[in-house]
Structure 1
């Protein structure tokens, strides 16, 4: 009896276990964690740091805007450009004369946890934005973005800065000023002397990324290394000029994907529909490498080590997109191509305070104009840029108010005969018989052009060498990393340098500011300072968009062409390419942060590469 009972029980137990196997397998499948989603890509210029008050270069602004939030933001996929609330509960109240702006924040927004907060959660409040704005006026931080805030005259703030400069005492953040007030815990008001209809754009710019006073005071001069914001990302790892890793901010509030792409873009319509309603950020981690050379950056994308390539290097344009069409082999792989004209101008500048190329007298103007006439832009665009650009007629770039596609000027003219005649007329001739032109006083004429070591920079200086050799002008080149050249340029230590300038708002004022005298050491790398230009610049700032403002901006551009502090080479055309498993990627010209809006299709990634994310 006992034996029979034992066998029966054993049989029943086996049956139960077998019956449970499918359920156990299903439960195991359900409990299996989702693969981590990692966005990987490379940038070609090293970051300078992570403090919104101190950075101005494009790549540093991209990474800071992922960590620091602004009151307003540009909608990621909307076309035309659309401004919307960021940390604010609604769009600001703006007075009829554009001189008073009132912002109300959403309660409950938290900073990333940091030791500066003493173990407590720290909420974003109105006072944080007042402090953030004041930091740009504090001489200690040498903000390169001050030029975007100073002209409107925030009541009392320019005077507070002037006092700090005069007395050499620390900037008084606690001094009450009329133009910046916290009306309550979540409401702040900005009042200005000048009513600028477009000043509101600045509140969507990364320079307005909110910082907490405790953090700045805790880290002091090392604040560039310690970003603490309220955005969706926090800095997890950093090897300067080499690698940056960002992970989700665990304190980030609930925000859900609700982007509205253009109706005529079927790709984005389908991807946005797939992502709608999901909590952002959509990926878990962002890994950014700094790869200055074009070939390894392009090969990392082809090898599937990068999820997209930010700006296909011109060296590979004919292979990646012959005749500006996606190459068949890449199309077969499902690669996505995003082609666009950036709100961008690439230029070389002449330091207006330099004894050789600077100055406003006819002979100095003639020298700069002759050099400009000697630059063969067609050859540069064809050989170096592989057709990915159009000749620049003025400093204002496309996709901004003030840009006129039909505007033509001497800026793009290539005429060596005219250049030689100008040089001869003003005494830049060979005075000692060595074959090279000299200055009118007989001393050697030699240009010094700062550049970088990447392949495109090398190709560009090769063109400079040939162009100047044809005019019998000596030119030498100094090579440094981009951040070092940028720092030296702002300090007024370079004679000439070439760089690209991208607008942060859909307005040409961002470009005209390059020539505004008070912007020297900020956006005005050339340190150009002409009374007539300054007056036009100030006037156009106060005008509403329309024919009168357009005419003023055109007049300002013509002055820049006439005095030639900047030789605008091209307005570049860029192409990004994304892997088939990257979902939701598109280029927004005025919104720097995009990481939270893209997703990784891990199944497709595994299928294409044999690897999970």
Structure 2
């Protein structure tokens, strides 16, 4: 009760501060995150909302054009797109001079210019065991020469990671150029360098000065600086007046609404960003978040939950009473999956034998995705037949598979065939050896999780399987997942680049414990995954991706439920907004005209 009162007081204070800022003539964007952030250190970020904030503070060498469809890369702090060798194993980035970090006492009162060594240091931090980087597997999969060995030496000798030891795979060539060399060809490696929350430049002096507290004191070269952070409650950022600057240069695609195309043309050449301040509340319950938007306290609501989305856009069109207020609405697919994974090391649902595979496939067939899609997700999703999501290379919209099928009769037949039957006559199935069979599913306590639990209970009861739910916070479940202590957990996964490799990597054996939560390890799959990763885009790569996906469909280490749709609503004052899932931070490109 006390926690709720404190949260309400914090939100009220946030509104008061927002109104005061607006009264002072500032352009203040106000909106809310539905889940708390964890911190703003690129070497430690694993969640979407920390990533969103960090992308405004830090800058990567490259970025995606905000309005382009399909996604298209362009230079950011780099002077041009990188030089890439013919075998896709050597990459050279050249930076623009005259880019500076935000102020920090570690710089001794001097302006600190961005140099190539800052990117070398920032990338090495992912290998430092001290930071436990959730992004490490992306670099290790590429095989940056010498860095994994340096990490293993630090672990074996129990010594601090040695940032000063030269390695062949990552080095600065001069003040403004740095080079990467890979053990294997990776034609899409450059996409990693468009994510500021992963490849953002970090100053070594600041990290060493802040130590373990670096996630609370982010200092980057981007347009925003963190001025207030109350963990899990409120985040405030202000535009850096000393930012090196950028001008609006977006071109809307030909199929974009005429108003958006006209606006992009009208804004061409404007100085960015156009906002002065961004104020973010953390409101985990959907109803108060929706009411805050309806009351005009927020300028935007992203990913409107299913029940409210159905009210706001009945039949896919903005409700008349909302349209009369001039509200804006967008609905778009996301490069995402919502899935349930099975821990492959678990003695009940894990393993590669025929009976365990049959159990997982039967559970997957018993899940009524259409009912879940409509009742729990409010129609805000597309049924999934595979792992590779829309908007990413390799997605096959025509694919139909067992993954997207609800067939209770087939599920029961599979269990009967492999001996998962009711041995003792109590109405519930037991394991083939007669031992009790009980599924354990990790859950959170929010309303959506409770609704999903009801569906799981209904689906498994129809199959004759007991299921119980282990309730914890998302952070606690993540910790237990990484420690291999969960049997089943429902999680989402979203691509940060427009390529299906992100989803196939969920089954890659060396990623177990990080980007492979089920711990699936199958040599045949790993060979296919590595092969497709080395190929340029084209028919040969698509064939390898589809073959790899078929193995995941057959062994079912994870049941993909849906690909999510996003419904976003904005007040009339917000101009220039357009969801781009590969641009983690949109603040730079929008304006408020109240």
**TM-score relative to the length of structure 1:** 0.91
Gaps of 5+ in 2: 1-21
* 2:310 and 2:379 in contact (8 A); partners too: no
Tell me which residue corresponds to 2:251: 260
How far apart, CA to CA, are the structure 2 residues paired with 1:264 and 1:568?
Answer: 31
Q: Contact 1:294–1:315 at 8 Å: present in 2 too?
A: no
Aligned length: 571
1:198 alignment counterpart: 188
Q: Which moved more, 1:106-115 or 1:585-594?
A: 106-115
1:312 has 2:272 as partner: no
User: How far apart are the structure 1 equivalents of 2:434 and 2:159?
Assistant: 47
Q: Does 1:477 align with 2:478?
A: no
Matched, 1:513 2:500: no
- Does residue 232 in structure 1 map to residue 227 in structure 2? no
Distance 1:60 1:446 in 2: 36
Distance 1:536 1:321 in 2: 43
Q: Deviations over 1:93-114 (max 9, x none)?
A: 1111111111111112111111
Find the partner of 1:526 among 498, 503, 518: 518
- Secondary structure in structure 1 of the residue aligned to 2:382: strand
> Which residues of structure 1 form unaligned runs of 5+?
1-31, 603-613
| Mapping for residues 535-574 of structure 1, pairs under 5 Å | 535-574=527-566
Mapped to 1, the partners of 2:106 and 2:456 lie a distance apart of: 50
- Per mean C-alpha deviation after superposition, the further-off stretch among 562-571 and 188-197 is 188-197
* 1:299 matches 2:315: no
| Distance across 1 between alignment mates of 2:386 and 2:155 | 35
1:96 to 63, 73, 86: 86
Q: Distance in 2 between matches of 1:48 and 1:360?
A: 35
Could you tell me whether the CA contact under 8 Å between 1:374 and 1:471 is conserved in 2?
A: yes
- Give yes or no for the alignment of 1:417 onto 2:409: yes
Greater displacement, 476-485 / 509-518: 476-485
CA separation in 2, counterparts of 1:396 and 1:556? 11
Deviation at 1:594, TM superposition (A): 0.9
8 Å contact kept, 2:191–2:497: yes
Would you say 1:37 and 2:61 are equivalent positions?
A: no
Please point out which of 243, 249, 257 is paired with 2:234.
Answer: 243
**Superimposed CA distance per residue, residues 426-454 of structure 1 (whole angstroms, 9 cap, x where no aligned partner):** 22222333322222333321111112222
Larger Cα-atom Rg = 1
Deviations 1:58-111 (A, max 9, x none): 111111111111000001112221100011111111111111111111112111
Q: 1:137 aligns with which of 127, 148, 159?
A: 127
What is the DSSP-based 3-state SS (H/G/I as helix, E as strand, rest coil) of the residue aligned with 2:32? strand
Q: Which residue of 1 aligns with 2:96?
A: 106
In the other structure, the counterpart of 2:41 is 51
1:218-273 alpha-carbon deviations (Å, 9 max, x no partner):
22222222211111111111111111111112331122222111233212123323
2:575 corresponds to 1:594: no
Q: Secondary structure at the match of 2:370?
A: helix
The answer to whether the Cα contact below 8 Å between 1:48 and 1:483 also exists between their aligned partners in 2 is no
The answer (yes or no) to whether the contact 2:380–2:565 under 8 Å persists in 1 is: yes
Counterparts of 1:428 and 1:55 in 2: how far apart (Å)?
42
> Does the Cα contact within 8 Å between 2:343 and 2:350 map onto a contact in 1?
yes
Question: Structure 2: how far apart are the matches of 1:212 and 1:568?
Answer: 40
The answer to whether the Cα contact below 8 Å between 2:331 and 2:566 also exists between their aligned partners in 1 is yes
TM normalised by structure 2 equals 0.94
**Matched residues in 2 for 1:491 and 1:234: separation?**
35
1:331-363, Cα deviation, whole Å (9 max, x unpaired): 221111121111111101011111111111111
SS in 2 for 1:333: coil
Provide the aligned C-alpha RMSD in A.
Answer: 1.5
**Partner SS state of residue 345, structure 1:** strand
Is the 1:179–1:191 contact (alpha carbons within 8 Å) kept by the matching residues of 2?
yes
1:251-290 equivalences under 5 Å are 251-265=242-256, 266-290=258-282
Decide whether the 8 Å contact of 1:280 with 1:596 is kept in 2.
Answer: yes
Measured after TM superposition, the shift of residue 33 of structure 1 is 9.6
Maintained 8 Å contact 2:238/2:277? yes
**Equivalent runs, 1:152-167 vs 2, <5 Å:** 152-167=142-157
Does residue 84 of the first structure (1) align with residue 74 of the second (2)? yes
SS at match of 2:372: helix
